[in-house]
Structure 1
Amino acid sequence: MTDTGQPSTAIARAQDSTALACQRMGDGYPLVLLAGQANNHHWWDRVRADFHATHSTITFDMRGTGGSGKPQGPYSTKQFADDVVAVLDHLSIERADVYGTSMGGRVAQWVAARHPARVRRLVLGCTSPGGPHAVERDASVRRALAQADPEAARRALTDLMYTPAWLADHPGPYTTLGDPDMPAHARHGHLVASNGHDAWDALQGITAPTLLLHGDQDRLTPPDNLPLLAARIPRTTSHVFPGARHAYFEECRAEASALVSAFLDEGP
């Protein structure tokens, strides 16, 4: 498959027959890119081409988002991980590299822990193990995101994702602030899934070499979660981006994409 600037699209089917819209672009070894909570595949629009020198990129709209089905739920990160495997099966991909950020990183943990034969190399960005061992965002962040005024909540989220200096030079639009077309039940389902994530006991079973990435100014998922993951996953390398917030992969794009590419190129 050649990189024409537009991904090819397909519809996979989950175990419960929910439609899963998936997108593939580029040539080379498959790299699955997993987006954050309540976001569709456009989360990766700014950076996915950075990997096409060596990889084809596969994204998909998690259930509840984009072109995928939007069942009532309940949703969970384990279920999202099973959906990833359904997409790989539909695309006849036996093994892939997996890069998940934010809630996508939680989903990636389950993919690697429950389906180790399907994951060659794993990248976890701005994420946490979940559960009682995780370092949670503080109450002021939760209040800011829960404001009744949607525009105020969106401004708060934008500030959590990017520094003011980066925003001044990159006026948008931004594709990491949520899928605007999600129905309310699906948005709530994603929130419940992310909040209910707890992979602590499973992390030691991850066999894939793993790269951990985080911004040191991330208040959405505090960077103290990175050493927790590093202590639980057997084969890890870590990097922290000074001054970066949650969307380090965009704000520190040149460095972050180069680090990920170099790590993936060390395979198998």
Structure 2
Amino acid sequence: MTRPSPHRFAILAVASVLAMAAGSPALAQTPAPAPAAASVTARAAPRADAATVEGGEVRYFVHGDLNSGKRPVLVLHGAFMSSDSMKPLTDLITDRPLIVVDQRGHARTGDLPGPITYESLADDAAAVLADAGVGKADVIGYSMGAGAALQLALRHPERVDHLVIASVSFNEAGNLPGFSAMMEGITPEMFAGTPMEAEFRRLSPNPDAFASVVNKIKVMDQGQDWPAEHIRALTSPTFIIVGDHDIVRPEHAVELYRLRGGGDTARASQPFLTEPPPARLAILPGASHVDVFGDPTLLAAMILPFLDDQTRPPPGGLFDDIPGSE
């Protein structure tokens, strides 16, 4: 058997860690399941806009009517992705307005002065909501975008209603051993000729800044340690999603779930949930970091009931006459 070269292995490892392949057919091993035709409603072309932030402007797109009276959903993509990459999921969210961001360093926003940090991404997201005239939104973040979403809730809690965070840790110990060392070994040269580099050059206003962005992203997780007591104090209902073979350890996802009020003994001892719990947890079977975003139909089927504060319908049959099952 021919072994992959160290260079090829590094690229695959980086792709797994950062979910760069999530929007790239050239790298994806299997296509995402096509949603049922009835589940997708035609939507008018999005409105492009830009919010002024420290160092420049952050580009974003508005889908639907922000004045509809329905709570908007803010969508934050992962590292080396873009608003385009989130389309498989956002196409399935048709019953409420969406704000989908090209985060700093990425896509149409491009490289801005200074480092890329979760704190700066969170402040950018708050600026986008303010620019769009939205006081509070539900927030969906994936990978790097989930870190930005969690920081948005920590730094600007008045801006966040429901919080969906997929594949994120709140400290370095939450990631698999060796994650930091692998990130330190990333170089811009590893991406030469890859779809990630090509997509960056296609969308970015400063296409020659790719190396700068790679070097900024490789250090953004170093020293990450967000106080557990601050996370516990959040009031936003929270949905945590990871894969069972994610970069984020399942034990860490459970810890985050408990910090957000999940696993309460009194609630768990009830035969049926009669009110929405403060936290939900999904550990997707047979799913890596990239695979978490590989089935947008499944994600939408879990996320939309959460945003609507729905609980699962009780099973029928033997349970029909149990009090509280109506």
Q: TM-score if structure 1 supplies the norm length?
A: 0.79
* Long gaps (5+) in structure 2: 1-41, 202-206, 262-277, 311-326
Find out whether 1:64 has 2:105 as its counterpart.
yes
| RMSD across aligned positions (CA) | 3.0
Match of 1:18? 56
Tell me the residue number matched to 1:163.
none
Residue 69 of structure 1: CA displacement?
Answer: 4.6
Q: Larger RCO: Structure 1 or Structure 2 (Cα < 8 Å, ≥ 6 residues apart)? A: 1
Over residues 198-230 of structure 1, what are the superposed CA-to-partner deviations in whole Å (9 max), with x where a residue is unaligned? 223431222100011111122x33333311211
| Superposed displacement of residue 187, structure 1 | 2.2
Alignment check: 8 A CA contact 2:166 2:241 kept: yes
Tell me the alpha carbon deviations over residues 25-49 of structure 1, each in whole angstroms, 9 at most, x when there is no partner.
1344211111112322222021111
Amino acid at match of 2:307: L
Q: Which moved more, 1:143-152 or 1:249-258?
A: 143-152
Q: Does 1:260 align with 2:303?
A: yes
Distance in 1 (alpha carbons) for counterparts of 2:251 and 2:162: 23
Aligned to 2:134: 93
Please say if 1:81 is aligned against 2:109.
no
Q: Distance in 2 between matches of 1:148 and 1:69?
A: 16
- Rounded to whole Å, the distance in 1 between the matches of 2:179 and 2:219 is 17
Q: Indicate the percent of aligned positions where both proteins have the same amino acid.
A: 24
Q: Radius of gyration: which is bigger?
A: 2
Question: What secondary structure does 1:84 align onto?
Answer: helix
Check whether the contact 1:126–1:246 (CA below 8 A) recurs between aligned residues: yes
- One-letter identity of the residue aligned with 1:11: A
Q: Which residue in the other structure is 1:170 paired with? A: none
Letter of the 2:50 counterpart: I
1:8 to 2:36 alignment: no
Of 54-63 and 205-214, deviating more is: 54-63
CA distance in 1, matches of 2:146, 2:99: 15
- Structure 1 unaligned spans of 5+: 155-173
Contact 1:30 1:56 in 2 (8 A): yes
**Length, aligned pairs only:** 242
> 1:168-183, aligned counterparts within 5 Å?
179=200, 181=207, 182-183=209-210
CA contact (8 A) 2:89 2:299 kept: no
What letter is aligned with 1:203?
I
Mapped to 1, the partners of 2:156 and 2:125 lie a distance apart of 10
Find the counterpart in structure 2 of residue 193 from structure 1: 220
What does residue range 101-250 of structure 1 map to in structure 2 within 5 Å? 101-131=142-172, 133-138=173-178, 142=182, 146=186, 150=190, 179=200, 181=207, 182-201=209-228, 202-218=230-246, 220-234=247-261, 235-250=278-293
After superposition, the Cα gap between the structure-2 partners of 1:179 and 1:81, relative to the gap in structure 1 and judged at 3 Å, is same
- Is residue 125–residue 214 contact of structure 1 (8 Å, CA) maintained in 2? yes
Q: Which whole-Å deviations, capped at 9, do the CAs of 1:164-211 have from their partners, x for residues lacking one?
A: xxxxxxxxxx88x97454521122212222334322343122210001
Confirm whether residue 36 of structure 1 aligns to residue 64 of structure 2.
no
Distance 1:185 1:107, change over 3 A: same
Bigger Cα displacement from structure 2, 145-154 vs 82-91: 145-154
